[in-house]
Amino acid sequence: MSQLTQAISEVQERLGSLQDEIERLKRYVEALEEENIRLKRELCAVPEQETNRVIANAERLQGVGRENLMKLYREGFHVCHLHFGQPLEDGDCLFCRAFLRRD
Ligand SMILES: [Zn+2]
């Protein structure tokens, strides 16, 4: 293979992986948009006095990495928007699991 042919195939390879990355990001953005809509809907279903608490939880959650959330959940604490930081009473929470599965 000539040097030029090799250079071209390298560029093609890089373009290919960039396209994959763009597709991945597009799907990620779509998932985030869906989640945003879902959360807005969920927030509307929460009684008014709890809305501020849920918003505060969502803000706290943004600063916590996924690994730490997993760890927190395994240690027996909620990581969902509704009960963030509170002890898991039944050892399990559907909201937390949905939240952790999401990423
Ligand atoms: Zn929970």
pLDDT at 6: 94
DSSP-derived 3-state class of residue 77: strand
Distance 30 CA to ligand 1 centre (A): 24
**3-class SS of residue 92:** coil
For a pLDDT cut of 90, what percent of the chain falls above it? 40
* Residue 77 bridge partners (DSSP): 87
| C-alpha–C-alpha distance, residues 83 and 56, integer Å | 11
pLDDT score for 27 = 93
Residue 82 has pLDDT above 90, yes or no: no
- Measured in angstroms, how far is the CA atom of residue 6 from the centroid of ligand 1? 53
Q: What is the pLDDT of residue 49?
A: 72
Ion ligand 1 neighbours (CB, 5 A) are 78, 80, 83, 93, 95-96
- Domain spans in the chain, listed from the N-terminal domain onward: 1-45, 48-103
Q: Give yes or no for a contact between 41 and 59, defined as CB atoms under 8 angstroms apart.
A: no
| pLDDT for res 103 | 57
As a whole number, mean pLDDT of residues 48-72 equals 82
Query: Residues 44-58: pLDDT tens digits?
Result: 777 777 778 888 888
